[in-house]
Chain A
Amino acid sequence: MAKKILGNWNTRTIVGVAIGVALFGVLMVYGGVKVFTNTSLTSAYVVVAVVAALFGPVPAAITAGLGNVLADLIGGWGFWFDWSLGNLVLGFFTGLGCVLGSNVKEGVFNTKSAITYALFVLIGCGLGFGVVTPVLTYFFYSSELTITWGQVTAAIISDGLVLLVVGIPLLIALANRNKKFTGLSKD
């Protein structure tokens, strides 16, 4: 179980996470539609779902957290570690949702998997953006929280939507794709 959560850190995982980070960062900066100040409906979270399904919770957490740092770097708008850590938490829970209910690598993703996944995504959104980010924002920047709450609401709705509405069909497609390569029997 610990192995499942931590992920198997071989070269394949390292490359997978690196590509995930790059995709997440780029999509966060260029692949979004603005919904609220500094918050956009971005397709980046789909990448987190894929990494979560293929490599596990900790790789997914690193993808989301480092991906956000990378987005901050190439976007050039300064660093928001409060949001990166919120993303880290969300990534971890997305990964847990994938590990506990399904096995996309072996081609298993049924209704129960979808429900588990959706549940963990919602917990992750609530905990990551609803608790971790505002607390850290207050702690780091002691900023006016009214705007942060607006951003948090926008982030939870838009990122949750992307993770569920685009994420679940994509995971089903990935599982079906991987199913073709499983079930081999020895002659």
Chain B
Amino acid sequence: MDSFGKRLFIALTPGKTFLDRLQGKTKIRLFFAFILILVATWDMRILFPILIISIIGLISIKPEWKTVRGLTIFTLLMNLFNLFLIWVVSPNYGYSQVGATTVLVRFTETYILSAETLWYFLVRLTKFMATFFVSLTFIQCITPSEMAAGLYGVGIPYKISTVVSLAFRYIPEIARDFNEIKISMQARGLELDSRKSSLITRLKQNVLILVPLIIVSFDRVGNIADAMDLRGYGRMKTRTYYAEHELTKGDRIINIVNVLLYAGFIAIVVVRIVSHREFLIWAPWVK
């Protein structure tokens, strides 16, 4: 949690690139279109282009490369480790997904490496990395206010939208409280270096910091709520947002793209239901 401030990358001020300038509503629609398609399909012919598009999207918003690189490496390693676990548990897993076994390397009787398993791993990795890049791009190009406005714009009750934007705004506050509590604990002689204490002591220390953090945070509920009430929050049935600007040319273009993406999503689901493939994943060499 030491690198908390540095690793946090919630945009609080709107940026200037094409994706940044879209309406909150458009960004949210675009994001969910991609996520829905990514959940629905296992077809490399769809996943790979989305991976490329998501990387282009990420580059286009000019993110902070140091953070992005760290996170990407972390996510990639985590996914590779999970794939390795799958292989350890069932070495011929590719067969159940692709429907064939082409042995490339045979370690022992059971431990084989087949082309299909590798293909499945590649598809899965593409799918998860694309999801990762899409969420990374989304979170970096939307501000909490825009997110609230956008969620309200797509039909979420505004009280829930407020929960989301308030939660985002509260995160830096938690970081500050956490650091203050940690420093005051250390001043009283608490050893917080993970290299010098065992797992159990670390858990105990976790709780020692946690309790004041929770009490401090929930003590503020009254103050924040009163301030909002005094400004007339929640009196009306509907709500307008300052952050939601008028439609721009970019919004019109992306809205058309959105319609196509949702149509594509429905098509993917329908095809998947109708075609009833025996095996989930398409591979170029398997009939």
Contacts and interface: CB of A to CB of B under 8 A. Distances in A.
B163 A18 contact: yes
Given A22-B167, A70-B167, A9 B159 contact: yes
A114 interface: no
Interface in B111-128: 128
Interface stretch (A76-84, A95-103, A116-124): A76-84
A38 B4 CA distance: 19
A31 B167 contact: no
18 contacts: A15-B228, A18-B164, A19-B170, A19-B218, A22-B171, A25-B171, A33-B199, A37-B78, A70-B167, A77-B132, A78-B75, A79-B135, A142-B42, A144-B86, A146-B89, A147-B85, A166-B207, A166-B210
A47 interface: yes
Contacts of A60: none
B60 interface: no
B210 A43 contact: yes
A62 B157 CA distance: 13
Contacts of B233: 11
Given A11-B234, A31-B1, 10 more contacts: A12-B222, A15-B166, A18-B166, A19-B167, A21-B167, A22-B166, A23-B217, A33-B203, A37-B85, A38-B82
A31 B209 CA distance: 10
Chain A interface size, as a band, is 35 or more
A46 B199 contact: no
Contact of B203 (A41, A47, A78): A41
Binding site secondary structure of chain A: helix
Contacts of A79: 35, 131, 135
Given A11-B225, A31-B1, A54-B218, A144 B280 contact: no
Chain B interface size, as a band, is 35 or more
A81 B36 CA distance: 11
A41 B140 CA distance: 28
B206 A43 contact: yes
Interface string B201-223: 01100110011011001101110
B206 A31 contact: yes
Given A23-B174, A31-B1, A76-B136, A16 B221 contact: yes
Interface in A32-48: 33, 37-38, 41, 43, 46-47
A168 interface: no
Contact of B75 (A11, A22, A77, A144): A77
Given A12-B225, A47-B214, A144-B89, A18 B167 contact: yes
Interface of B: 1, 4, 8-10, 35, 39, 42, 71, 74-75, 78, 81-82, 85-86, 89-90, 93, 97, 128, 131-132, 135-136, 138-139, 159-160, 162-164, 166-168, 170-171, 173-175, 199, 202-203, 206-207, 210-211, 213-214, 217-218, 220-222, 224-225, 228-229, 233-234, 280
B135 A73 contact: yes
A78 B163 contact: no
A106 interface: no
A182 B71 CA distance: 49
A17 interface: yes
A137 to B, nearest CB: 11
Contacts of B166: 14-15, 18-19, 22
Contact of B89 (A9, A30, A147): A147
B89 A23 contact: no
A26 interface: yes
Nearest to A62: B163
Contacts of B4: 30
A27 interface: yes
A16 B221 CA distance: 6
A146 B218 contact: no
A74 B139 contact: yes
Contacts of B213: 23
A121 B90 CA distance: 33
B171 A74 contact: yes
Contacts of B86: 144, 146-147
Given A23-B213, A43-B210, A142-B280, A66 B163 contact: yes
B89 A11 contact: no
Nearest to A30: B1
